[in-house]
Structure 1
Amino acid sequence: MAREKIISNYIKKLLKQDNLQDTKIKILNIGCGPGRSSEYLSQFGEVVSIEYDKFCCEFASEKTGLEIINGSITELPFDDNVFDLVCAFDVIEHVEDDQLAVSEMKRVAKNNGLLFITVPAFMSLWSHHDVINHHFRRYRLAEVKNLFSFKKDGKMIFSSYFNTLLFLPIFLFRQLSNLLQSGEKRTGSGSDFEAFKPGILNSILYRIMYFESNFINRHIRLPFGVSIMYTWKKNNQNE
């Protein structure tokens, strides 16, 4: 999956910058869902996984064999200053009090620990996908930065939109879908491509998304996109 590759490649770069590439770091993966993100994060160190949905937690544990803790990002069941890397991939948008969620992530990170989040971008892309997945909001980069700069307790490492090349077709598809589905209850997962069969389309989408990894790994910020990635380091005072 292209998203997984983009995140994995960027974490490799992030750890290399901090001279942690040869260290078995302690990682917290918040909102691990079915567990795949915990599996690929394990290449970087010891992963502790937490999932809010109890059914999903049990399913992921059974599927992956990993120990997954049932808990909330707004009340993390860990002491202060425990983890080298705290991740929350597409989680913050599910939380009404997103400021508290970020504060909890900061609390459990070690001094000089890293935080890495992804969130969906732009309310103009709001659609059935967001409703069915119980999102409270979509973000702009400035709004994410404000969440992290609430206290002067660290600094941003890198921020960017991504899934940029697919932004225009997804925007047009969602606008048209919202217009056509107005007043109707839509069923299904909410995916923009649920009507298409897998195969060649998946291969094309993979190549388009993975191409963006070349920019992100060079810290080249993309000006817009369907999603946002944001990395932050604790205890550097110049936010």
Structure 2
Amino acid sequence: MDISEFNRLSDQKNYQRHPWETSRKNVLKYFLNQTNIKFPIDRIVDIGSGDAFVIHSLLEHNFATEYYAIDTAYTPEIINQLKANNKNSQVQYLSSLDEYYANHDTQKNTLFLCMDVLEHTENEKIILDFLQNETGNYFFFAVPSFQNLFSNHDVLLGHYRRYSLPELENLLSRNHFKILDKGYYFFTLLILRWLEKSRKKEQKESIDNWEGGKFKTDLINFVLKTDFKIIMLLKKLNIQINGLSCYCLCTK
């Protein structure tokens, strides 16, 4: 979760959403629709939920009965703003997994989302250990790919590391997660990031300061949508293409 996302909460009308956010949300919905999970599931818990854009997109499509957004950056003021921005939806906001486990029944069939979170923790086990007893539930992990692409932009976003898919698999397997599906996405962005790295050109645009304009935003969304469709088609043919992000869908 990028803390910078919270800078825009009180200015929703003038905020232009970064195409990465929109594409990332669409990727998640695609993956969930391809699983054997029976939706609506009892509960979705979004760890590192940020401005709650992703979890509200799932709420709009009835993926669950209950929705929980968890982020360490949530304060009472931020939670109140999120509630106002989202018309007091049924999403419940919590500031930690400790708070979730202390106050909520954990016996319900649950999907845990952990998208672009593990790279923000100095020790991933702090999060993974919380989930050790969640047998029978589902987990979707996504992280940025390839440590050799680590740059000052990662530092700006608060990243400690990037991962290859085998590294993510190994981490999750060591922590007793059973991997149901795995892969990469966004090959186009991988090429662009490699070119930026090789030319020592750093990105200046973060999620909260995107000013690309409607045409550029729509174009990037189209390219990423096409990119993703091609990667998924090749995957069905057992051809793996690397991407800027990798994911694992797991159970326990």
TM range, smaller chain:
0.7 to 0.9
Q: Which amino acid aligns with 2:141?
A: I
Report the equivalent of 2:56: 39
* Partner of residue 30, structure 2: 9
Which residue among 83, 95, 101 is the counterpart of 1:61?
83
Matched, 1:210 2:225: yes
Structure 2 counterpart SS, 1:8: helix
- Residues 89 and 44 of structure 1: CA distance in aligned 2, closer, same or farther (over 3 Å): same
Does structure 1 residue 52 correspond to structure 2 residue 72? yes
What is the Cα deviation at residue 203 of structure 1? 2.1
* 2:198 corresponding residue in structure 1: 175
Q: Tell me how far 1:91 sits from its aligned partner.
A: 0.8
Q: Distance in 2 between matches of 1:92 and 1:148?
A: 11
The equivalent of 1:237 in structure 2 is none
The aligned amino acid for 2:83 is S
Q: 1:87 aligns to what?
A: 113
Q: Which runs of 4 or more aligned residues in structure 1 lie more than 6 Å from their structure 2 counterparts after TM superposition?
A: none
Q: Counterpart amino acid of 2:188?
A: L
More displaced 10-residue stretch of structure 1: 158-167 or 204-213:
204-213
The counterpart of 2:122, out of the listed 76, 96, 120, is 96
For normalisation by structure 2, the TM-score amounts to 0.74
Structure 1 residues 128 and 204 mapped into 2: Cα distance closer, same or farther (>3 Å)?
A: same
Provide the alpha-carbon RMSD of the alignment. 2.7
Give the AA of the match of 1:97.
N
Whether the 8 Å contact between 1:38 and 1:47 is mirrored in structure 2 is yes
TM-score (norm 1): 0.78
Matches within 5 A, 1:80-229: 81-107=107-133, 109=134, 111-151=135-175, 153-176=176-199, 179=200, 189-190=205-206, 197-211=212-226, 212-213=228-229, 215-216=231-232, 222-229=240-247
Contact 2:44/2:113 (8 A) holds in 1? yes
Distance 1:216 1:204 in 2: 20
- Per-residue deviation at 1:224? 1.3
Q: Displacement of 1:164 after TM fit?
A: 0.9
Q: d(CA) in 2 for partners of 1:82 and 1:135?
A: 32
Q: Deviations over 1:106-131 (max 9, x none)?
A: 43x3x321100111111222223211
Report if aligned partners of 1:3, 1:210 keep a CA contact under 8 Å in 2: no
Q: Is the 8 A contact 2:183 2:246 kept in 1?
A: yes
Q: How many aligned positions are there?
A: 216
Letter in 2 for 1:233: T
Q: Which 5+ residue runs of structure 1 have no aligned equivalent? A: 235-239
**CA shift for structure 1 position 98:** 0.4
- Amino acid corresponding to residue 155 of structure 1 in structure 2: K
Q: 57-66 or 201-210, which moves further after superposition?
A: 57-66
Instruction: Work out whether residues 42 and 110 of structure 2, in 8 Å CA contact, stay in contact via their aligned partners in 1.
Output: yes
**Kept in 2: contact 1:51–1:70 (CA 8 A):** yes
